[in-house]
Amino acid sequence: MTNFLAASTTANQDRGPRGKAADHRLRAMIALSRLGYASTRQLARIVWGKITASSLRQAQRLIAVLSDERLIVVRRDSMACQQMVALTATGVRWLSFEIPGDKAHARDWLRHAHAHRTACNSVFAAIGAPAYGYTELEIQSQQAPCKSLYHKVPDLLIADSSGWTWVEVEHSYRSAKDFEKVIQWLRWVFNQENSPVREVWFVITRPGASTIGQRLRTALTHQDFRDGIPRQIRELDARILSRHIQIWKLDHDSLELEPVPLIRSVS
C-alpha cells in the first residue's frame, strides 16, 4: 500500500543524508498532524516503513531533535508503557497547514489519549498509512468522505477509485446487542445497489476480540433451510461472507497485519 507520506519531496531524498533527514522530519510531522499523537514505534513504522532496532533508534533520535526544537511535546503513557508525542503550537506553525479540528496544537489530544485511538493509530500505521486513507482523528473531525453511514462511524477509512474499505478496530469483545447491530449494518450496506463500501475489515488488536471472525461466520452462515430465513437474506449473507469481509490481527511488536482465515461457506 502506498504510504500517505510518499508525496514528501523526492528532491529531499536525492540530496543524500541531509535530504533524507529532512524527509524523515517532514514525514514524522505530517504523521503527527493526522494522527493527533503517536508512539515511537508508530512513527518508526510510518517513517521508515518497518520496525527494526535501527528504525527505532532513528525514531528516538528524531523525537529528541524535534523536542529540543519545541516542535513536539513528549509524554510517557504509564498505562501503555510507551512514549507518546504530539505537535506543539510551534510544530503546527512549522507545518504551515491546519491540523484536524482547527486546533492550534495537539497537546489536548495527547493529554486525553485513550486506548482505542492509540489502537486505531497502530492499525493505520500497519496498513501502510495510505495516501487515500483517513485516520480516526480525521474521521471524528469530519475530514473524511463520510462521518457515518447508516448510523455507524468507521474507525478508519481507505477511499480510492475502486470504493471504500471500512475498517473496524476490534479492541474489545462486542456485546450481543452491538454485534447484532453490526450484522444488520453489513446487510444494509451490501444490499445497496451502489454502495460506496467495497470491503469491511475487522482488525483484532486485543485477545478479547479474537472471536470476531468465528462470530461473523456463524451469524452469516445458514445451513438449516427450516430456520425461516428468507432466501434473499441467505444469498446476501453468503455474498457478504465470501466477498466483502476480511479479518486481520495486529502484531503489536512489528505493527504488521496478519490475515486471519475466515472459512467462507455458501448456502
pLDDT over 90 at 219, yes or no: yes
Asked if residue 123 lies in contact with residue 257, where contact means CB atoms within 8 angstroms, the answer is yes
- Cell 523536542 locates to 67
pLDDT 10s digits, 68-104: 999 999 998 766 668 999 999 999 888 877 677 666 6
Side chain identity at residue 261, one-letter code: P
At 102 the pLDDT is 64
Question: Residue range 220-227: average pLDDT?
Answer: 84
Decide: helix, strand or coil at residue 88. coil
Confidence of residue 168 (pLDDT cuts 50, 70, 90): very high
pTM above 0.85, yes or no: yes
Q: Domains of the chain (ranges plus CATH)?
A: 10-112 (1.10.10.10), 145-259 (no CATH)
Nearest-angstrom CA–CA distance, 46 and 131: 12
Print burial letters for 157-172: b (CB count within 10 Å at least 16), e (below 16).
Answer: bbbeeeebbbbbbbbe
At 25 the pLDDT is 95
Terminal Cα distance for the chain, rounded: 34
Decide: helix, strand or coil at residue 214. helix
At 1 the pLDDT is 37
Grid cell of 32 as nine digits: 503527527
Confidence of residue 15 (pLDDT cuts 50, 70, 90): low
Minimum mean pLDDT range among 39-53, 74-88, 129-143, 185-199: 74-88
Asked if residue 219 lies in contact with residue 89, where contact means CB atoms within 8 angstroms, the answer is no
Burial class of 217 by CB neighbour count within 10 A (0 to 12, 13 to 18, 19+): middle
At 7 the pLDDT is 44
Nearest-angstrom CA–CA distance, 213 and 110: 32
The torsion region of residue 142 among left (phi > 0), alpha (psi -120 to 50) and beta comes to: left
